[in-house]
Amino acid sequence: MSTQPRTAAVERNTLETQIAVRLNLDGTGVSALRTGVPFLEHMLDQVARHGLIDLDIAATGDLHIDAHHTVEDVGITVGQAVSRALGTKQGIRRYGHAYVALDEALTRVTIDLSGRSGLWYEVTFPRARIGDFDVDLLLEFFRGFVNHAQVTLHIDNLKGTNAHHIAETIFKAFGRALRMAAEPDTRMQGVLPSTKGAL
């Protein structure tokens, strides 16, 4: 596997949003986030820190309507960047998982860098908003990510009564699971981790 950092830069421009993402899968967890959606930035910072992914995101969207398009399109663009940064996927672990607890909240995330898009999201929030952020948009973020990263992702919140804690465990576990799956496997050098010969 190449020792070069696995990086990507992706821009996505529509009538609703203009988004630029730069990331380094082999980073140190540094983030620079300018989306206009503070709670989303808080969650993405957890992904960067726990995934050891350097993440730079600039987004301008139609926030005068609501945050839906911005959150979804950030998910799409991050997914595209992750897919590009993974390259051929030779020599990676492919599968990753993490359990993360925060006080009463506990979430499990598992990911397969499979080349197939699939999302199973079993999360029930005790309230509809965290501050002024609509918790339904977290599903839209992950749906956009999965469809464009072409990964299989299972997110299961197992316990929790505090909506902020639940959300934070989801994004921390997601960062850690992605980090594990994308890591080089020293026993798989130069090998694609698939019996099909393709991912």
pLDDT of the residue at 4: 72
Is residue 1 very low, low, confident or very high in pLDDT (cuts 50, 70, 90)? very low
Alpha helices in 3-56 (DSSP H): 38-51
DSSP element (H, E) containing 108? strand 105-112
**Mean pLDDT on 6-27:** 97
**Is residue 136 scored above 80 in pLDDT?**
yes
**Mean pLDDT on 23-42:** 98
**Mean pLDDT on 148-166:** 98
- Tell me the pLDDT of the chain averaged across its residues: 95
pLDDT of the residue at 69: 98
Q: Is 128 exposed, middle or buried (0-12, 13-18, 19+ CB in 10 A)?
A: exposed
pLDDT of the residue at 189: 76
For the ranges 31-35, 156-160, 169-173, 181-185, the lowest mean pLDDT is seen at: 181-185
**Is residue 3 scored above 90 in pLDDT?**
no
Q: Which of 43, 25, 8 is nearest to 33 (CA)?
A: 43
pLDDT of the residue at 195: 66
Place domain 7-188 in its CATH homologous superfamily. Imidazole glycerol phosphate dehydratase; domain 1 (3.30.230.40)
**Mean pLDDT on 52-66:** 97
CB atoms within 10 A of CB 189: 10
pTM of the model: 0.94
**Mean pLDDT on 158-171:** 98
Number of Cα atoms under 13 Å in the Cβ half of residue 89? 20
**Is residue 106 scored above 90 in pLDDT?**
yes
Top-confidence residue, 150 or 2: 150
CA Rg, the chain, in Å?
16
**Is residue 60 scored above 70 in pLDDT?**
yes
User: Which structure tokens are listed for 57?
Assistant: 């995101």
**pLDDT above 70: percentage of residues in the chain:** 96
